[in-house]
Structure 1
Amino acid sequence: MSHQHKRSRQAVDGLLEDIKVVLLDIEGTTTPISFVKDVLFPYIRENIEDYLKEHWDEEECQADVNELRKQAEADSEADMEGVVTIEENKNTDDAEEVKAVRDSVVKNVLWQMDADRKITALKQLQGHMWTTAYKSGDIKGEVYDDVVPAIKHIIADDRQVYIYSSGSVQAQKLLFGYSTQGDLLEIFSGHFDTKIGLKVEKASYLNICEEIGCKPEEVLFLTDVTREARPASLAGMKTCIVVRPGNEKLTEEEESEFNTIHSFSELISTDAQNKKKK
């Protein structure tokens, strides 16, 4: 065992000590990164045309299209390269015109996804499509097997567990509400997204502490990337990097800077050992 691994192991042993809240990232922490890349986004690409055709006359769908149209107009005015505009559907009784408008929406959505844009209009439509997919059973949120037992252990000691992800609160609740392990929403005390602040900013973590009413040093934040762990540490939180298959590889410097675990089960085992010692 290397000196570095010994240092990390000793630090991990005390991670839950004096902690009242555990704050969890999703992608690469509770859920494989591949779930988003290989399941959620491909679902949009493969089903956008059929979804629009089926839901076109619904108020929610038209509201999504209007937001995409406004964004496309703004992109066009900004001379954005490759922008796909969406025409007004003036004659709703003209089947060919309706199809032409739908086709332009499909092209616009695919163009934005190709550009990896995170704009609200796109997220809104994607969220509604994923809602339909989760509720129909076409998609189930993937959660690592070690996550739920660990969370149940954590909350059994009167600690609370919150989620903080760049994905919307709605998307978070769908993933955990319709997961491969059933409805998991009751094990979480709350959810945060980027409305509380960006995950790379120290202020966001202070805002979360203020919101849930605890001190930063009473919070343990688990994430898969150091660019999120670092500002959380600067805010005063305990932090730990979760190393999973497919996650961004840590540098030697990052490994020496942060605690690491490969499974949530490590939190349970070390916490149980510490209780026996006491």
Structure 2
Amino acid sequence: MILHHDVDAVVLDIEGTTSATGFVLDVLYPYSRSAFGTLLTERAAEPEVRRAVGQVRDLMGEPDAGAARVEAVLGAWLDEDRKATPLKTLQGLVWAEGFAAGELVSHFYDDVVPALRRWRDAGVRLHVYSSGSVAAQRAWFGHTPHGDLLPLIDGMFDTETGPKREADSYRAIAESVGVSSPERILFLSDRTAELTAARSAGWRTTGVRRAGEPYCQEDDDGHPRVATFNEIGLVNSTRGPAD
């Protein structure tokens, strides 16, 4: 059965939704862990690195923490899978270089890219909202097995916009996207708390429950659910059906 929505825009989560969480944990996290030491010592003067390190020190409550101490805390946060904004910023810098160098290639489930192209052809705008930094998102969509997918994406948002479990974050995104009303936006995610926050902001929602993903058995809290993007049919009222 196909779940139909009439929307102007779709906002996508990445981990567990478009892409395998295991790839992020097993490939990207170790890659960033191995690169943090060099980043914190050799590039400490770069404005984005300096700002993120300052945020790490603030969260630690240790304003004078040195590079080794910051690196240790970043490693601990990786072990916790903590969604700390400065961690994601520093990961994004490292990953962007890895993707650009050809050392990393992103992962997408087989059903995702054809669906994104169908939806975009139908006039539905595509956006991303992930705990990973915008830099990491750009690298992810720019270096895929399917080539550069950035031309498909109209905008990207990270936790600089706000936490993914707070409705105000989705209100801010809706204002930025510029839709006529929030119910013209569909949010796709594997996390129920994120879907509920988006629903509280007036968005349409659908839970993506992929077999084998860590949160595939979460309670749906009344959100529609699908197993793949092939079960989603989008209609833009100004352009017609996407399928």
Task: Give me the TM-score of the superposition, normalised by structure 2.
Answer: 0.81
Structure-1 residue corresponding to 2:137: 172
Which letter does structure 1 place at the counterpart of 2:201? A
**How does 1:1-278 map onto structure 2 within 5 Å?**
9=1, 12-14=2-4, 16=5, 18-49=6-37, 51-52=38-39, 56=42, 59-60=45-46, 64=49, 68=53, 71-72=56-57, 75=60, 77=62, 85-86=65-66, 106-114=71-79, 116-214=81-179, 215-244=181-210, 245-251=212-218, 254-255=219-220, 257-268=222-233
197-206 vs 32-41, which moves further: 197-206
Q: Is the contact between residue 92 and residue 132 of structure 2 (CA under 8 Å) also seen in structure 1?
A: no
Task: Give me the TM-score of the superposition, normalised by structure 1.
Answer: 0.72
Q: Is the contact between residue 127 and residue 170 of structure 1 (CA under 8 Å) also seen in structure 2?
A: yes
- The C-alpha deviation readout for 1:41-61, integer Å capped at 9, x for no partner, is 111223445x459x827853x
The separation in 2 between residues aligned to 1:22 and 1:145, in whole angstroms, is 19
- The C-alpha deviation readout for 1:105-135, integer Å capped at 9, x for no partner, is 6545434434555445443332222121111
Which letter does structure 2 place at the counterpart of 1:217? E
Distance 1:198 1:130, change over 3 A: same
Q: Tell me the SS of whatever aligns to 1:257.
A: coil
Q: 1:242: how far off?
A: 0.6
- Unaligned 5+ segments in structure 1 are 1-8, 79-83, 87-100
Which structure features the higher share of strand residues?
A: 2
- Unaligned 5+ segments in structure 2 are none
Distance 1:108 1:66, change over 3 A: farther
- The C-alpha deviation readout for 1:184-221, integer Å capped at 9, x for no partner, is 00001111112222211122222222212211111111
Counting aligned pairs with the same residue, the percent is 35
Which structure features the higher share of helix residues?
A: 1
Instruction: Figure out how many residues of one structure are paired with residues of the other and give that number.
Output: 236
Return the index of the structure with the highest Cα Rg: 1
Q: Tell me the SS of whatever aligns to 1:220.
A: strand
Superposition RMSD in Å? 3.2
- The C-alpha deviation readout for 1:57-96, integer Å capped at 9, x for no partner, is 7853x97368537844873659xxxxx942xxxxxxxxxx
Which letter does structure 1 place at the counterpart of 2:115? A
Q: Tell me the SS of whatever aligns to 1:221.
A: strand
Segments ≥4 residues shifted beyond 6 Å: none
